[in-house]
Amino acid sequence: MSLDALYWDATYEIVCSLDDTYPDIVIDDVGIDQLYKMIVALPNFADDPALVNNGILNAILREWYEEKMG
């Protein structure tokens, strides 16, 4: 797992960290609110939680889904 600081614009790096932290999660069951909580709980997340919006969270969720299914 990468220990580099994570920021909202680092979509792929966030996805990799989520996948390492939650390897058995069913992504279809993850909602936007849960995803937000999972990201800000990552030990290397360093951005301001207030800067996020649904577009960013949806992009992260879409990328994570594609990584899992790809």
Domain that holds residue 43: 11-69
Whether 3 maps to a domain, the answer reads no
Whether 54 maps to a domain, the answer reads yes
Q: What is the pTM of this model?
A: 0.92
DSSP state of 42: S
Q: How far is CA 39 from CA 42, 51, 62, in A?
A: 5, 13, 14
**Mean pLDDT in each 10-residue stretch from start to end of the chain (70 residues)?**
84 97 95 98 97 98 93
Whether 4 maps to a domain, the answer reads no
Q: How far is CA 30 from CA 13, 23, 26, 42, 62, in A?
A: 18, 13, 7, 16, 11
CATH code assigned at 31? 1.10.10.600
Helices (H) and strands (E) in the chain, counts: 3, 0
Whether 6 maps to a domain, the answer reads no
Whether 20 maps to a domain, the answer reads yes
